Chains A and B, each alone.
Chain A
Amino acid sequence: MDISTYIEAIKRQLRLAPEVRSPVLRELRYHLQDRALELQQRGRSYADAISAAVRDMGRPRLVAQELYESHSQGTWFETAIAAGPHLTLALLFAFHGWQSPLWLGLALGGIVLLTLYGWSRGTPIWLYPWVSYSILPLLAPGVITLFYLWQAVHSHATGAPSPLPAWAWVFLLPALPFTIWSLASIAIRVVQRDWIFGTLLLLPLPALASWLLVLSSRGPLAVSLNPLLREVDGGIAMTLLALAFGTGCFVRLRQRRLKVGALLFTALAIWLVVAQASPQDMSRWGLGLVALLLLGLLLSPALLETRVAPRGGGNEPEDSELDRLMPRS
């Protein structure tokens, strides 16, 4: 294996932001060049010196893993900020602050402002949970359509009248592809960095959709949203606390598989809280749908990653310096 192939193998497995990864790879490349040059000066052939230098560095997978772990842990400050939007909304629901337009406006406005600030700072690790809530207005038309579709299916199954007149679907249905397109565009951008950030970003969405399903199973939302929300706001706060805890673990853990474990554990906790709060008649269909939503959004970034090219190859130098120092003849 030559130096470029070795560096390329590490690059493929080193899932760090391009601006962090690029100098790391450059440093490794120069190290390999120094080592190969030294071996060549000691009398080894060019090819021999290169393969010995690469062998001494260690297997690319192992080196990439150790490098990842030395960069992947966020500070306690970053952990607190990352958990911030979940905690803010958890407090809002735990103390019924969602009923006050002032508190709700302050919380949502703050979330949007911090998202814009984070985006302008080059997407730090704490940004993704904030993006989850900031994109809600963009997704709202699609979520409303899905909600009415669910109600229509429910009405059809129980023999109740349809929740909407037929003409209303003409306006509602186009919202669904728009929402899917918006979500996919954002997800692709995030997944180009690393799919686990995509999962972190998407995780609150099935949680919110699940509570919408629970609420709609408890009664008609259009006429009694506030009393219904008051019945379950403790459960919603619990879900948001689970999200805050899971996000905190995700940021602090070094190992990639533990980060994925934190996300799975959070999804399970959300499902348990939603299952506890769901009315009896929802349990069979609704909980299955909630589980599908959670699983689908957890796995979709990983599947998406296989389809999209990683962003920003960085500017790792080629072997020019090596060629200058070590004539092949």
Chain B
Amino acid sequence: MAMSDGQRELLKGNTESLLLSLIQAEPMYGYQIIKEIERRSEGYFRFREGTLYPALHRLEKDVLVEGRWQQTPRGQDRRYYYLTAKGQAVREAKMAEWQGFSTAVNRVISPRPA
């Protein structure tokens, strides 16, 4: 299913938060991240695959994640991304920001009790 422009914009604005949250749960490699985002969002988010690696490498350059080559359980070499201490702090700040924002939006758009 193709993403609408609105969904694409939402994903673009929150790529960093999504990636940091996924990697925080467990270290993952690129393809695994794409599958996991799709699975957890029940197909709502679908990354354009070519944009994932630039986003991951930007996070790595900012020392929010760290990439390490290691073997998968099936013995294949893959580059796993780990969350750094700085990445953890940024993730927590972004989560707090998102919670405040979504609560405020929900309050505004919810129908007022009669």
Contacts and interface: CB of A to CB of B under 8 A. Distances in A.
A24 B49 contact: no
Interface in A268-319: none
Interface string B1-41: 00000000000000000000000000001110000000000
Interface in A35-92: 35, 56-59, 62-63, 66-67, 69-71, 73
Contacts of A26: 79
Given A30-B77, A66-B51, A71 B57 contact: yes
Nearest to A27: B79
A57 B77 CA distance: 20
Contact of A70 (B29, B31, B49, B58): B58
Contacts of A230: none
Given A34-B31, A70-B61, A71-B61, A27 B50 contact: no
A69 B51 CA distance: 12
Contacts of B94: none
A323 interface: no
A69 B54 contact: yes
Contacts of A156: none
Q: Chain B: interface secondary structure?
A: helix
Interface of B: 29-31, 48-51, 53-55, 57-58, 61, 69, 76-79
B94 to A, nearest CB: 19
Leading 3 A-B pairs by shortest Cβ distance: A58-B50, A63-B50, A66-B54
B53 A27 contact: yes
How large, as a class, is the contact surface on chain A? 20 to 34
Contacts of A58: 48-51
A31 interface: yes
A24 B57 contact: yes
Contact of B49 (A30, A31, A71): A31
5 contacts: A26-B79, A28-B53, A31-B49, A59-B50, A63-B50
Given A31-B31, A35-B31, A70-B61, A23 B79 contact: yes
A24 B57 CA distance: 9
B42 to A, nearest CB: 18
A34 B58 CA distance: 23
